[in-house]
Structure 1
Amino acid sequence: MTQPILLWFRRDLRLADQAAVMAAAHSGAPVIPVYVLDDETPKHRKLGGASRWWLHGSLESLARDLEALGSRLILRRGAAAEVLAQLAAETGAREIHGLHHYEPWWRNAEKAIRRKGLDLHLHDGNFLIPPGSVTTGAGTPYRIYTPFWRQVQLRMPPAEPRLAPAKIPAPEAWPASDALDDWALLPTRPDWAPGFRAEWTPGEGGAQDRLEAFLPRSNLYEERRNLPSRPGTSRLSPHLAFGEISPATLWHAAMDQGGSVDVFLSELGWRDYAQNIIAEFPDYGAHSAKPDFEAMPWRDAPDELKAWQTGMTGYPIVDAGMRELWVSGWMHNRVRMIVASFLIKHLLIDWRHGEQWFWDTLVDADYGQNAVNWQWSAGSGVDANQFTRIMAPLTQSPKFEAGDYIRRWVPELADLDEGEIHDPTPITRRRCAYPMPIVGHVEGRERALAAYRMMKG
């Protein structure tokens, strides 16, 4: 019998419009799909708690979908290069198919696999265009989003998404597989995920359902996306982060919806942009792109960091966002900007603390997006907001009609009217057992500007 092919899944957990799946299924060889839980190669960048919860559901879904095609999903744990080499030795496979990934640890794993003499075939498909394929006239990568996006649009639409194969050829004998439950990806003591289960359905089917729910209102995306009290965003980000739906599928589904759907499509472009940045700067999640920022006099304030993490800063819009994150594993996009600005500028705490917290608590945690967005907020990125532009939470909250959002996530304030919900009086705070602001807006702003001047010398 023909030597089998290993089909290596990472954060590309789908069968439709998945080029590695198609290549393996149409190769004429038996196919062994495999997912490797690799906590060794990424080291401190192993999946966070929220991502592990999502991964469990996504792997369950993928395994069911593979079984429907006459196949199965093999689960192994360890350093990816070692595990795949061992699996190849067990099965006689010499060829591996997978999708390109650009996180530095995955690029290291790919090199290690090739050093073991295995034939690794990597395909495109997790992004609108392959990272690095759009360059300036000088042949260098774009570092500014606007001209990057302008060039990407010239290549759109992407190729039509392809359907999942009707069948995946199986080997005569299957190698041993770990049991998913033995990986203990789900929280138990305590079980902090009831809000996750209420909100999310991981997997390719859940992604399709979320897309169908979003499309009828996608033409109002620009008008509603900044209003956390209204359902304006797609909530597709975790499905994209785990590769349960391709960006090409989203593009083709949404591109003719009219209205402001182009703004939604540009968000797919920002996702591509972030991958281009980490492809050029692999340590973007750990080091400020602008060297000056390494001299920023950040404050060591663990109690204030804890107050931010737990949603007890005394700023209702900030606390609502942080509590939404803890309960559901997700946070509204506009509120993400507000809470990031607050941590970095009002509290003068290093952006890396926020980036790490999001990495652990977001179901859509993505190295490129997370790093680029935090450095944008800090002003330290290659294309970033100015540090001196400091969001005022007490202004942002009423501007973006966040009253009902606050009432949902800060229930001790649920009975307040619009006159107080955004900034309760001291008397109301005491009555509601809600804290006073951890820092005044003017005080925090002036402290941040003074630190910026000190950094600049």
Structure 2
Amino acid sequence: MAVTLVWFRDDLRISDNPALVAAADSGDDVVACYVLDEETEGIRPLGGASRWWLHHSLSALGASLDQLGVPLVLRRGAAGDVIHRLVEDSGAHAVVWNRRYGLAERTADSSLKSSLTNRGVDATSYQANLLYEPWEVTSGSGQAYKVFTPFWRACLTFRTPRAPLAAPDSLSSPDGPGLDSDELPAWGLLPTEPDWAQGLRDTWTPGEAGAHERLDDFLDGAAQGYKNSRNLPAVHGTSMLSPHLRFGEISPFEVWHAAQDHKDSSTAEDIRVFGSELGWREFSWQLLYFNPELATVNYRPEFDAFTWESSTQAELEAWQRGRTGYPLIDAGMRQLWEIGWMHNRVRMATASFLIKNLMIDWRVGEKFFWDCLVDADAASNAASWQWVAGSGADASPYFRIFNPVLQSKKFDPKGDYLVRFVPELADAENVHEPWKGSAPGYPAPVVDLKESRERALSAYKALSES
């Protein structure tokens, strides 16, 4: 029987997977594969936390595919070379995959598609991981949007997101001996010495089942009141779906329609706001599609002339380790260390502190988050750091500087979040401003908020006048 090769990438699921559905509908035998590509030029290697997630996500996908009747073949190397070898090994006449949108990824995919076609192998790609293709929704002049609100309004006017596709009931595997496959543990994706992942294991269930459980729990709970509770780091007010979306364990179409189906008169505004968060993900990917160097190059070129201070290594390490002396910043960074994730309100505050109070280049923070986040997403991570820096699209102006004391007083008034991740503050006389009283074991502030704010504003004024 004819064979179709399904190449999994950032779509580690069996439901609403157009490439997998196409292979099943073809009636062919199916070979499923995942390629750990750390060799293709320009493709960014995963950070440590994402590698941990990938291991467990692949394990879950492999189990799901086994239930459908096909094994997951694991290979390592430059994807173009590996896929060609798999086509030869399996005798596949067709290869299917779901699209990626980074420049290096789509360049590699285009080259592979051309070379496969030249060899008489059909290669087809599908839309699976974005509600709208980056090139579909443009301004009246045909240009990419630079501001979120009109972009998202145009998306919703353009087309209602399609309904999710059902998972195949079963798949047929080619007869004969199975293809050679790497053993997942041999890839070394998990930390060993030291094993820093206990907090990740306690918090997350990577894989498709965990993604749907997380979505169901959110819709049955935090979705009610989401508009306000999403800003409160001490409560479970967000969906925490970001890593599941990052690895494609659940599709944005599934999330969108489940949320819409859950909407009623009491949750309509909450669901609207939640939907706009999916919109920010879409906007970030459009930005990256049209600005491939978003993680390294200022979106607004005038920021190329910005003068970054030479903060000390000690100040940078204080930020990284959650020892700045400012409770909200330290709680956020310690949450990142513990569970590989940080509440979005706190992400903005920690980023602002690094960029504006410490005057450290936003790219330093972007790289650090890339390594530490389980949801490190090439588009959202870069776009968000540039947004805070003021150098991005639809950006927060540089002179908007998050005051971590005011932020914690407003969004964590009782200090529950602060104490959860900075337990030495439990006995502090003033949990929001511990330097104003006794706080045994807690460090003094690394910088003065007022002085560092004035320094940042002075640098921004010099830039705007240049």
Is the shorter-chain TM-score for this pair beyond 0.5, marking a shared fold?
A: yes
Bigger shift: 271-280 or 290-299? 290-299
SS at match of 1:452: helix
Equivalent pair of 2:68/2:171 in contact (CA under 8 Å): yes
Query: Which residue matches 2:444?
Result: 436
SS at match of 2:97: strand
SS at match of 1:112: helix
What is the CA-CA distance between 1:310 and the residue it aligns to? 0.5
What is the CA-CA distance between 1:43 and the residue it aligns to? 5.0
Partner AA of 1:153 in structure 2: L
SS at match of 1:162: coil
Query: Which residue matches 2:110?
Result: 111
Equivalent pair of 1:219/1:257 in contact (CA under 8 Å): no
Query: Which residue matches 1:254?
Result: 259
Correspondence list, 1:341-380, <5 A:
341-380=352-391
Query: Which residue matches 1:18?
Result: 17
Correspondence list, 1:26-425, <5 A:
26-41=25-40, 45-118=44-117, 119-155=122-158, 157-173=160-176, 174-216=178-220, 217-255=222-260, 256-258=262-264, 259=267, 260-301=270-311, 302-401=313-412, 403-416=415-428, 420-425=430-435
Pair 1:8-2:12 in alignment: no
Question: 1:440, 1:170 → 2: CA distance?
Answer: 64
Q: Deviations over 1:335-355 (max 9, x none)?
A: 000000110000010000010
Equivalent pair of 1:20/1:123 in contact (CA under 8 Å): yes
What is the CA-CA distance between 1:44 and the residue it aligns to? 7.0
Partner AA of 1:67 in structure 2: D
TM-score (norm 2): 0.95
Question: 1:228, 1:175 → 2: CA distance?
Answer: 47
Equivalent pair of 2:31/2:90 in contact (CA under 8 Å): no
SS at match of 2:123: strand
What is the CA-CA distance between 1:299 and the residue it aligns to? 2.1
Equivalent pair of 2:99/2:125 in contact (CA under 8 Å): yes
SS at match of 1:33: strand
Q: Deviations over 1:84-136 (max 9, x none)?
A: 11111222224211111101221122023124234321101101122211111
Change (3 A) 1:85 1:300: farther
Q: Deviations over 1:370-399 (max 9, x none)?
A: 011000000001221100111111101110
- Moved >6 Å (runs of 4+): none
SS at match of 2:223: helix
Question: 1:220, 1:22 → 2: CA distance?
Answer: 36
RMSD, aligned α-carbons = 1.3
Partner AA of 2:443 in structure 1: P
Q: Deviations over 1:219-257 (max 9, x none)?
A: 311110000011100011100000000111111111142
Question: 2:160, 2:107 → 1: CA distance?
Answer: 31
Structure 1 gaps, min length 5:
none
Bigger shift: 213-222 or 179-188? 213-222
Question: 1:279, 1:434 → 2: CA distance?
Answer: 44
Equivalent pair of 1:38/1:80 in contact (CA under 8 Å): yes
Question: 2:366, 2:202 → 1: CA distance?
Answer: 25
Question: 1:94, 1:46 → 2: CA distance?
Answer: 30
Equivalent pair of 1:215/1:257 in contact (CA under 8 Å): no
Question: 1:142, 1:428 → 2: CA distance?
Answer: 50
Q: Deviations over 1:21-80 (max 9, x none)?
A: 100111111111100001112557211000000000000000000000011100000111
SS at match of 2:452: helix
Question: 1:37, 1:411 → 2: CA distance?
Answer: 39
